[in-house]
Amino acid sequence: MAVLLELQECRLTYPNETKNAADKLALAIDHLTIRKGDRIALLGRSGAGKSTLLRHIREQLADRASWCPQQASLVPQLKAFHNIFSGGLERHSGFVNLRNLLLPSPRFRAEIGELADRLGIADLLWTKAGELSGGQQQRVAIARALFQQKSVLLADEPVSALDRLQGHKVLELLASRHSTSVIALHNAQLALKVCNRVIGLKDRKILFDCPADQLDTEVIERLYQ
Amino acid sequence: MTHFLSQTRSLRRLTFYFAAIALVCLAFADIDIGTRSPGHELWLMVKGLVTPRIDDPRQWLDAVAYSLTFSLQGVMLAAGFGFVFSVFYHLAWVHILAACLRSVHEVFWALIFIQVFGISTLAGVLAIALPFAGTLAKVYGEQLEEIDSTAARALHPDGRAGVSHFFYTRLPQALHAMRNYTAYRMECAIRSSVVLGFIGLPTLGFHLETALRTGDYSAASALLLTLLALVYSLRFWFRAKLLWLLVPAAFLAKPITAQWNTANLAQFLRDCVPAPLREDWSLQKTQSWLLWLGEQIASGVWNTALLAQIVLVLTGVFALLGSTLNSSHFVGGWTRRAGDGLLLVLRSLPEYLLNFVGLIVLGPSMLPAIVAMTLHNGAIIGHLLGRHSDELEPAVIPSGPLGRFAYYYVPTLYQRFLAYCFYRWEIIIRETAMLGVLGIPTLGFYIDSAFEFLRFDVALILIGVSAGMTLSADAISRRLRHRFLETGQPSAFETQIRLSPSAAQTP
């Protein structure tokens, strides 16, 4: 399968809070290849470097990946519809975008309505994002990521505020709409159901990287010890 | 224990120096009462105030229409330009342009534009639109900077924003604050349009000046109450939905016209070139011209600085005391409404008008200007400070009002109080320079007489000097705020000002 991204001898850091001190190490990667068709779950305790790795992949892929951040990061004053539409701003001309802000066009209503139906937020489209609950905001953010319509998905805990059943359905939807996905998750069972490859991060490095069907629970438990 | 004078970064020391400078200034200031019986004149005014009378309803209506259209057209143009500037506010030249536009007072802009366009709507609208565009650019710019950028970064790793991204991820977050501030600016614009009447434009101020000059205080009272009613009514009709109707209506009712004349403009531009260059004077004559100009600048700057420092400190004192009228720590219920009402009425009266009235009562000296600016600016800060004090917990140790004021209220609010005063400093300098138009020898006095003698070159140089004073007050204030005040103080003082006091009190 075609290689999408290859990382070698990669040391990811974040700035140190004390001035003039060296940057702190967040994650060291010897070798990591992401191929087209991969559905990768990133597992690990919080602070293991999942978000750092995702951010780095996002920088490398630039405009090729849609992005679903951990906090919904919506514009609270804007209706859910417009927040979702903002994922597709780059596909349309500035004129179309501004017109749709004032007078939502039937075409986009239909497109976004279909997405919202699948996510169970169809009746929330005309509510301001700031007035939605955490789980609702998260689904709006997922719809926004889907509306970016890129071939690669990068998502950071996209279903953390949803219940298990909903989370499963939404993850399946996300994965089915992208040819390649990298998703940070805290629920290992969900990861095994939806993804075909699992990367475990521990102590600032990759502990294991293997197909989902070859993974046993013992290995996963080591991650969280 | 160290004495506060030897402490660094002590707010007490800072206050002490400001108060000491103001005291020294007071010793040099001319604050005599020039009229023989100020009480009598005041009594006549009060009598007039309670017996308002409109002699000529058509004339009155026309003046109201002009005041409203000037301010509405001015604010809308200013909001348009200010908005465009604010988007590019991070660029240095936009920053500087906005600072220069707002450092020149509306009255000075009007004096210039009246020379170019005659007594016309264009002159009035431009005089309001230009300085307001500068202020709005700054405030909108700061409001846009303060928004949360995570939404923008969710769409783009570096938060890079095209026009569409700006409208979808940034503008919606700032829009509410921007609308609020524009409404407050409309209140300012109504005040400004009235002041422009005093220098000849056909607004309420024009008739107000005539009435005050002739001692017809009943007619003046009607006009004054009209002004207050206009300002108060804003909260009911200055709304986005109505503006779609009102703005086109304003442009249709009083279309922007000018007595435009190319020869006139060319002559004006020629006259703006300094006389020695324009007329190729001899060195000796140039030297005496320069000396004469230098004397005016020195005297104008000295008096402006003198007066502004006194006013700054008195404004602070009045604001601290006055803020208790609008603070839940001291008053409640109807007393508070009445107290806040008083502050809001004082805020609604332009300092120019207060100064004009003060001159009639107290006679020509710096005293009327001091009183006028202290009341107007002190009321603005006092209202804000009182409202802010509602956010504080009640004092833990119960004590009488005086003890509470000295040991709890002032110490907890002092940082914010100083921040407000420093923000207002620049505006006080601008106003002090302008009030010279009424006869006190600040820069405005020399600017006004230069216009009177058609010495436009001198007028422009002096306006430049006054703009420079405003800009330097702004720079010093920024440094002092940076050095003495904790971060987390309101970054945009103006953003705190709102039109409707009730909006802030409802949770």
Domain count of chain B? 2
Q: Which of B218, B238, B273 is the last residue of a domain?
A: B273
Of the candidates B153, B168, B176, the beta carbon closest to that of A82 is on B168
User: pLDDT digit string (tens) for A149-192?
Assistant: 999 999 999 988 888 888 899 999 999 999 999 999 888 888 88
Q: What is the pLDDT of residue B209?
A: 94
Dihedral sign for Cα B355, B361, B364, B365, please.
Answer: negative
- CA B108/CA B97 separation, integer angstroms: 17
Domain count of chain A? 1
- CA B283/CA B289 separation, integer angstroms: 10
Q: Is residue B240 a part of any domain in this protein?
A: yes
Residue of A nearest to B149 (CA): A73
Cβ B106 vs Cβ B128: under 8 Å: yes
For chain B, give the percent of residues with pLDDT over 70.
93
User: pLDDT digit string (tens) for B151-168?
Assistant: 888 887 776 668 888 899
| Same domain (yes/no): B336, B215 | no
For chain B, give the percent of residues with pLDDT over 90.
57
In this structure, what CATH number is given to the domain that contains residue A102? 3.40.50.300
Q: What is the pLDDT of residue A147?
A: 93
- CA B89/CA B137 separation, integer angstroms: 7
Task: Report which residue type is found at B108.
Answer: F
From its phi and psi, is residue B159 left (phi > 0), alpha (psi between -120 and 50) or beta?
left
CA-based nearest distance A223→chain B, Å? 29
Structural domain of B211: 56-273
Question: What are the tokens at B295?
Answer: 């004397």
Of the candidates B151, B157, B168, the beta carbon closest to that of A101 is on B168
| Same domain (yes/no): B264, B297 | no
Task: Report which residue type is found at A83.
Answer: N
CA-based nearest distance B415→chain A, Å? 28
| Same domain (yes/no): B370, B423 | yes
**Does the structure show a pLDDT above 50 at B479?**
yes
CA-based nearest distance B151→chain A, Å? 5
Tell me the H-state helices in B273-323: 275-278, 283-323
User: pLDDT digit string (tens) for B364-383?
Assistant: 889 999 999 999 999 999 99
User: pLDDT digit string (tens) for B82-115?
Assistant: 999 999 988 899 989 999 999 999 999 999 999 8
Going by pLDDT thresholds of 50, 70 and 90, the confidence category of residue A19 is: low
Chain B residues whose CB is inside 8 A of the A94 CB are 162-164
- CA B250/CA B304 separation, integer angstroms: 37
| Span A51-63, average pLDDT | 86
C-alpha R_g of chain A: 18
In this structure, what CATH number is given to the domain that contains residue B489? 1.10.3720.10
Count of C-beta atoms within a 10 Å radius of residue A38? 19
Q: What is the pLDDT of residue B494?
A: 55
Cβ B136 vs Cβ B82: under 8 Å: yes
Q: What is the pLDDT of residue B504?
A: 35
User: pLDDT digit string (tens) for A4-14?
Assistant: 888 887 788 77
Going by pLDDT thresholds of 50, 70 and 90, the confidence category of residue B493 is: low
- CA B122/CA B119 separation, integer angstroms: 8
**Does the structure show a pLDDT above 70 at A99?**
yes
Task: Report DSSP state, residue B393.
Answer: P
Going by pLDDT thresholds of 50, 70 and 90, the confidence category of residue A18 is: low
User: What is the reported pTM?
Assistant: 0.85
| Same domain (yes/no): B171, B298 | no
Decide if the complex's ipTM is over 0.90.
no
Q: Half-sphere exposure of residue B258, counting CA atoms within 13 Å on the CB side?
A: 15
Structural domain of A151: 3-15+24-223
Dihedral sign for Cα A120, A122, A124, A128, please.
Answer: positive
Q: What is the pLDDT of residue B186?
A: 94
Rounded to a whole number of angstroms, the distance between the first and last alpha carbons of chain B is: 44
Higher confidence at residue B401 or residue B207? B207
Indicate which of A70, A71, A89 best probes the interface with B, i.e. most B CBs within 10 Å of its own CB.
A89
